């Protein structure tokens, strides 16, 4: 390929759609601390996602941080070793201990059947991730959380616009979190959100993100600065209007990859229920790490940069000080490669990428 092809490319609405929002921001001179655009973005998102409360924040990581704080989580938090480092790091950052539980070999999400064996007297919460947007076993995980009186957070950083059992995936758990990072299907450059069905919790999250101020600007809590800016909200508003089109283009690209790669015996895809997926990533599972390295370097020779999301499995990182072996997570993390997927990727580029993989 002449120009490099990266694992993703930011999805951006036409610049002229952003211009009027920027002009109004310039006129008002209000860039943050709640001008009109953050609440407008929250309202439009809540309608689009069909959820009661959206609390926009400065990143997916700060959404997780506020969720842990709002639910007063302490001690041990059960989570998955197959996720982006932000999920586990924020647990440690909040002075809790991540306890990693092995994953399912086909959905690559935390194995709900293995959670109970890891619950101790110190366990206070489960933080599960809908990895690459495929829903976790929400029924079983919710049942376990209720039975053991544990808080339940879903990291839905990848999982915007996914319906699960006929309703928004974001309605599960006490809080679900989103990321609107530049690489996500809906982006605000940097940004994120907490989603909750609980009004009291929504108010608590709003206070936590704004130094602990309530609506009357009285200091009522310990808080932090995790606010979204007006410029990010403007970007979110214009990008949101294109989200359905973008998702559809990615679905078509995903299906095209699948068709081209179907004949290659050493490739497997993530398992997901029909329609319960948003096609924001294109992870393939290769037969061995050697094969993965071979495919990756063949692609690089042609200027195509696939990524090892998520490697290594997080329980193997020294700073988590866990010596247990989680064989499925290790086998999966060693062999997954995310191929380029974004709405501007052409059919011709997809075909070329698949041919390189086939010949590697």
CB of 217 to ligand T4K, least distance (A): 27
Residue nearest to ligand T4K (CB): 60
What lies within 8 Å, CB to CB, of 154 at 6+ separation is 127, 128, 129, 130, 136, 138, 169, 170, 172, 173, 175, 176, 177
> Any contact of residue 67 with ligand T4K (CB under 6 A)?
no
User: Distance from first CA to last CA of the chain, Å, rounded?
Assistant: 16
Q: Is 132 in the site for ligand T4K (CB under 6 A)?
A: no
Residues from 154 through 183 that contact ligand T4K (CB under 6 A):
155, 157-158, 179, 181-183
- Our CB check for ligand T4K shows the closer of 188 and 207 to be 188
Q: How far is the CB of 263 from ligand T4K (least distance, A)?
A: 28
Nearer to ligand T4K, 80 or 142 (CB): 80
Is residue 224 involved in binding ligand T4K (CB under 6 A)? no
* Closest distance to ligand T4K from the beta carbon of 308 (Å): 10
Whose Cβ is closer to ligand T4K: residue 183's or residue 358's? 183
- 89 lies in the binding site for ligand T4K (CB under 6 A): no
Residues 279-308 that bind ligand T4K (CB under 6 A): 307
The distance of closest approach from Cβ of residue 158 to ligand T4K in the complex, given in angstroms and rounded to an integer, is 6
Per rule CB under 6 A, is residue 9 in the interface with ligand T4K?
yes
- Residue whose CB is less far from ligand T4K, 146 or 225: 225
Task: Please select the residue that binds ligand T4K; options are 10, 32, 203, 360, rule is CB under 6 A.
Answer: 10
CB of 262 to ligand T4K, least distance (A): 26
Q: Does 239 sit near ligand T4K (CB under 6 A)? A: no
Q: Binder to ligand T4K among 82, 210, 277, 309 (CB under 6 A)?
A: 309
**Is position 87 an interface residue for ligand T4K (rule: CB under 6 A)?**
yes
SS (H, E, C) the chain: CCCCEECCCCCCCCHHHHHHHHHHHHHHCCCCCCCCHHHHHHHHHHHHHCCCEEEEECCHHHHHHHHHHHCCCCCEEEECCCCCHHHHHHHHHCCCEEEECCECCCCCCECHHHCHHHCCCCEEEEEEECHHHCCCCHHHHHHHHHHCCCEEEEECCCCCCCEECCEEHHHCCCEEEEECCCCCCCCCCCCEEEEECCHHHHHHHHHHHECCECCCCCECCCCCECCCCHHHHHHHHHHHCCHHHHHHHHHHHHHHHHHHHCCCCCEEECCCCCCCCCCCCEEEEECCHHHHHHHHHHHHHCCEECECCCCCCHHHCHHHCCCCCCHHHHHHHCCEEEECCCCCCCHHHHHHHHHHHHHC
Is residue 229 near ligand T4K by the rule CB under 6 A? Answer: no
The reply to whether 194 sits near ligand T4K by the rule CB under 6 A is: no
Query: Least distance (Å) from ligand T4K to the CB of residue 10?
Result: 4
Member of 25, 38, 57, 86 binding ligand T4K (CB under 6 A):
86
Binding site for ligand T4K (CB under 6 A): 6-10, 59-61, 83-84, 86-87, 129, 155, 157-158, 179, 181-183, 192, 307, 309
């Amino acid at each position: 390929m002449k120009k490099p092809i990266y694992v993703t490319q930011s999805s951006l609405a036409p610049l002229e759609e952003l211009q009027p929002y920027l002009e109004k921001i310039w006129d008002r001179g209000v860039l943050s601390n709640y001008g009109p655009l953050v609440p407008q973005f929250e309202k439009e998102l809540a309608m689009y996602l069909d959820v009661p409360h959206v609390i926009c924040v400065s990143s997916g990581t700060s959404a997780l941080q506020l969720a842990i704080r709002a639910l007063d989580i302490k001690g041990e938090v059960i989570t998955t070793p197959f996720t982006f480092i932000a999920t586990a790091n924020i647990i440690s950052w909040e002075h809790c201990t991540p306890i990693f539980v092995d994953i399912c070999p086909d959905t690559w999400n935390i194995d709900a059947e293995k959670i109970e064996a890891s619950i101790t007297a110190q366990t206070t919460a489960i933080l599960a991730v809908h990895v690459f947007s495929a829903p976790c076993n929400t029924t079983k995980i919710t049942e376990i959380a209720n039975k053991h009186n544990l808080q339940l957070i879903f990291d839905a950083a990848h999982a915007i616009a996914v319906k699960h059992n006929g309703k928004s995936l974001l309605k599960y758990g006490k809080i679900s979190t989103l990321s609107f990072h530049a690489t996500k299907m809906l982006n605000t450059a940097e940004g994120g959100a907490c989603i909750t069905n609980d009004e009291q919790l929504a108010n608590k999250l709003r206070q936590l993100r704004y130094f602990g101020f309530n609506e009357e600007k009285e200091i009522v809590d310990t808080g932090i600065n995790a606010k979204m800016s007006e410029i990010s909200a403007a970007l979110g508003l214009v990008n949101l209007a294109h989200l359905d089109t973008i998702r559809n283009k990615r679905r078509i690209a995903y299906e095209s990859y699948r068709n081209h790669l179907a004949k290659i015996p050493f490739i497997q895809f993530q398992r997901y229920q029909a329609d319960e997926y948003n096609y924001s990533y294109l992870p393939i599972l290769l037969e061995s790490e050697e094969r993965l390295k071979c495919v990756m370097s063949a692609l690089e020779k042609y200027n195509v940069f696939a990524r090892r999301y998520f490697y290594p499995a997080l329980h193997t990182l020294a700073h988590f000080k866990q010596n247990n072996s989680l064989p499925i997570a290790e086998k999966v993390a060693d062999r997954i490669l995310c191929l380029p997927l974004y709405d501007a990727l052409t059919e011709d580029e997809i075909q070329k990428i698949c041919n390189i993989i086939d010949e590697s």
